[in-house]
Amino acid sequence: MQRKDKLTIVINGRGGVGKDTLCDFTAQFYRVRNISSVDPIKEIARMHGWNGEKDLKSRKFLSDLKRVFTEYNDLPNRYMMAQHAEFLETDEQILFVHIRESDQIATFVKLMEGHTVLTLLIRRDDGTPVGRYGNVSDDDVESYPYDYYYDNNAPLEDTPALFATLIAKMAADHGLEL
């Protein structure tokens, strides 16, 4: 059932564009929960020797491991659905869900039918070529038809207010009262 005081945003963008920073800035204006579809995969990887690196080898490892768990028991979606259910029981207003893979975004959006779920791609013009990571999770982030796009190129001191304006517009566009 759709609620007028809750917004779920699937946020995506290649590594280093500032997704987590933007989520942190949003928390200055709204009550926010920030999760990632790869959170349970990272937990499993840590138990078996991964120490949090974000190098190309580790990114591919996490991408491949996530794909295996998605095919085996849909762990990432089960995790996100449980997090969404918890979110609905709190006073939090915005749930950011980080999902990299286009097919996973489409699946999550479909699973969330009846709730307001919007998709948002974050971009930054830093000269880094798109598709440089060597794994499907990172290299196809721009292939999904997102509801909203945000170019994260403003000076850092201006960014919190600019991004909050986008979030308010997203909510208003869909009749939400956050």
- Angle 27-124-61 (CA atoms, 0-180°, nearest 5)? 85
Domain limits for position 114: 7-37+77-173
Instruction: Name the pLDDT band for 16 (thresholds 50, 70, 90).
Output: confident
Over residues 96-146, the pLDDT tens digits come to 999 999 999 999 999 999 999 999 999 998 765 565 677 777 788 989 999
Q: In this predicted structure, what is the pLDDT of residue 130?
A: 60
Q: How many domains does the chain have?
A: 1
Interval 147-154 mean pLDDT: 96
* CATH code: domain of residue 154: 3.40.50.300
58: pLDDT strictly greater than 90: yes
Contact 96, 24 (CB under 8 A): no
Query: Quick one: how far is CA 2 from the chain centroid?
Result: 20
Residue 136 maps to a domain: yes
Residue positions counted in the chain: 178
Task: Name the average pLDDT for the chain.
Answer: 93
Sign of CA dihedral 81, 84, 89, 90: positive
Q: In this predicted structure, what is the pLDDT of residue 127?
A: 63
